[in-house]
Structure 1
Amino acid sequence: MSSINPHFTLNYSQPEDYRFSHDSVFLARRVFELIRDEDISTWRGLDLCSGCGVIGLDLLFHCHKEANKTFAAFDFLEVQDIYASHFATNVERLGAIGAELNFVNQNYNVLASAAWENKFDVIVCNPPYFHLGQGKLSPSEFKNRCRFFMDSDFESLFKGLINALKPGAHAYVLLRDQVEHGWSATQEARKCIAALGTLESLEDIRGTGVVRITKFPQEF
């Protein structure tokens, strides 16, 4: 995929110390292309590990501008409260689109609880790519928490994610294998959700894989 973004949306507010990558905007565009023909008027979405809200807000922008559609609600789950003010600014820049937008300043461990079970019609996620010990830590705790699994772990992320999806619904996640460490994020994620859903690799965005996780339909 080209490293040039042909679908400019918003001039996002974000912390100076850590800028989002183009991977996020490319993922938002790709998910829009996959769901553009769906009736999303009753859907609730989740941007998981949302930062300043780029993936979810970009997805909402494309749906509104190009398909004249919007979600009923979209939640943005982020553990670092430094992003809250940037998110609020970005919502103002997006403008009124008719969806309920919520910044949820919590650890993603909450997704494994009963209160979040079967809640979302779609989830988008660009999680940290590294485990502690995989790469050099920065003097900045903020940067480290963006890049490394520090507030929780990889397994908890995917078990929470699959719990929070509605039966039959999809999550779209960016995963980067750590070949130099002999670790496959794709294989490990598939193990985490194996009893409850499936994982398929869709494509590659600038060296990072896009996977689609589908929760098994509910049995009656």
Structure 2
Amino acid sequence: MRDQKRVFKDWVMPGPTAPGGQTAGPGSPETGPETLDALSGLWRIFQYERGHRFSTDDLLTAWYGTSKCPSAGRALDLGSGIGSVGMMAAWRLQGATFVTLEAQDISVRLARKSARHNGIEPRYEILQGDIRDERLLAGREPFDLVLGSPPYFPLGTGIEGEHPQTIPCRFEVRGDVSHYCAAAARNLAPGGLFAFVFPTEQLERANAAAAASGLTIVTRRDVVFREGNAPLVSLFACALASDLPLTFRDKTFVEPALVVRTAKGEVHPEYRAVKYTMGFRP
């Protein structure tokens, strides 16, 4: 017999249960009200109604990293925001311990609330601080998997928005993709992997950032949001160049593009499969 708590629109939600117990609050005059939203399986995530909401980019980063490094025992999420990337990865890697690092206190507060709601606090540590500060992770064991969703744009190059949470999430207030690559390289375990997402049109910046930190982009996968259009973002899987054979360093295998929606606007079958493996209704 089906557990009706797991059934949503003819789909049975997989994965661990969540103890719950937390509710969306009114927030503050600065942040506005909170919402409690579906994440992977039975897990939930707290977000600000008018703040930075988790996105397809986040889901794909968690999926790509956990797919490329499925045996990770220790994982690090850099610039973790409200915890969407890290928690989706933790849902999939149920035996792994996680450390996340985020500078904004208003995001850290929500991430801790979500971790409590989902019952993962014993294996999910949330630190507050700047990813550029090497002292924050100094002396810790290195990580098999590092995840990152860097801000995409330099300050002053776009509309910043009114909510205080959105500006550092979209714009390079506390470092850029080069700082994410440097932090990942410092904290990777031998044979570890760093997965991140970045705009395809800024591919040269991503390549330069990885190379400057001693990383080789082992694989790259471009993401097309509508079939027939140009890719908007790319997923990167990197390893320390020093961990690779000489003949493999500085070589990238570019995988076939991942299409999110068909030309008719329907969800592409492969993206349905991606969602399914991450605990979302296909």
Aligned to 2:177: 154
Q: Taking structure 2 as the reference length, what is the TM-score of the superposition?
A: 0.62
Over 3 Å counting, the alpha-carbon distance change for 1:33 and 1:139 in structure 2 is closer
Aligned to 2:210: 190
For 2:65, which of 27, 31, 47 is the aligned residue? 31
**1:93-114: CA deviations, max 9, x gaps?**
32258x5211111000124888
The 3-state SS of whatever aligns with 2:138 is: helix
Identity of aligned residues (%): 21
Q: Which amino acid aligns with 2:99?
A: D
Q: Is the 8 A contact 1:46 1:122 kept in 2?
A: yes
Q: Which amino acid aligns with 1:106?
A: G
Deviates more, 1:204-213 or 1:110-119: 110-119
Q: Is the 8 A contact 2:101 2:126 kept in 1?
A: yes
* Shift, 1:88, TM fit: 1.8
| 1:114-153 correspondence to structure 2 within 5 Å | 115=138, 119-153=142-176
The 3-state SS of whatever aligns with 1:109 is: coil
Q: Is the 8 A contact 2:150 2:176 kept in 1?
A: no
* Shift, 1:178, TM fit: 4.0
Q: Is the 8 A contact 1:117 1:165 kept in 2?
A: no
Q: Is the 8 A contact 1:118 1:163 kept in 2?
A: no
For the pair 1:93 / 2:117, whether they are aligned, the reply is yes
* Shift, 1:184, TM fit: 2.9
For the pair 1:11 / 2:44, whether they are aligned, the reply is yes
Bigger share in helix = 1
Q: Which amino acid aligns with 1:27?
A: T
**1:59-111: CA deviations, max 9, x gaps?**
111223xxxxx11x2111001010122112211232258x5211111000124
Q: Taking structure 1 as the reference length, what is the TM-score of the superposition?
A: 0.77
Q: Is the 8 A contact 1:137 1:144 kept in 2?
A: yes
For 1:174, which of 197, 200, 211 is the aligned residue? 197
Q: Which has the higher contact order (CA 8 A, sep 6+)?
A: 1
Q: Is the 8 A contact 1:47 1:56 kept in 2?
A: yes
The 3-state SS of whatever aligns with 2:85 is: helix
Structure 2: gaps of 5 or more residues: 1-12, 15-39, 226-231, 245-282
For 1:128 and 1:54, locate their aligned partners in 2 and report how far apart those are by CA, in whole Å.
15
For the pair 1:110 / 2:140, whether they are aligned, the reply is no
Aligned to 2:106: 82
The 3-state SS of whatever aligns with 2:179 is: helix
Larger CA Rg, structure 1 vs 2: 2
For 2:107 and 2:163, locate their aligned partners in 1 and report how far apart those are by CA, in whole Å.
15
**1:13-32: CA deviations, max 9, x gaps?**
11222111121112222333
Structure 1: gaps of 5 or more residues: 1-5, 65-69
The 3-state SS of whatever aligns with 1:77 is: strand
For the pair 1:55 / 2:85, whether they are aligned, the reply is yes
Q: What RMSD over aligned residues (CA atoms) do the two structures have, in Å?
A: 2.7
Q: Is the 8 A contact 1:118 1:167 kept in 2?
A: no
Q: Which amino acid aligns with 2:105?
A: D
For 1:122 and 1:208, locate their aligned partners in 2 and report how far apart those are by CA, in whole Å.
21
Q: Which amino acid aligns with 2:112?
A: A
Aligned to 2:56: 22
For the pair 1:212 / 2:237, whether they are aligned, the reply is yes
Task: Provide the aligned length of Structure 1 versus Structure 2.
Answer: 197
* Shift, 1:204, TM fit: 2.4
Q: Is the 8 A contact 1:201 1:209 kept in 2?
A: no
Q: Is the 8 A contact 2:107 2:165 kept in 1?
A: no
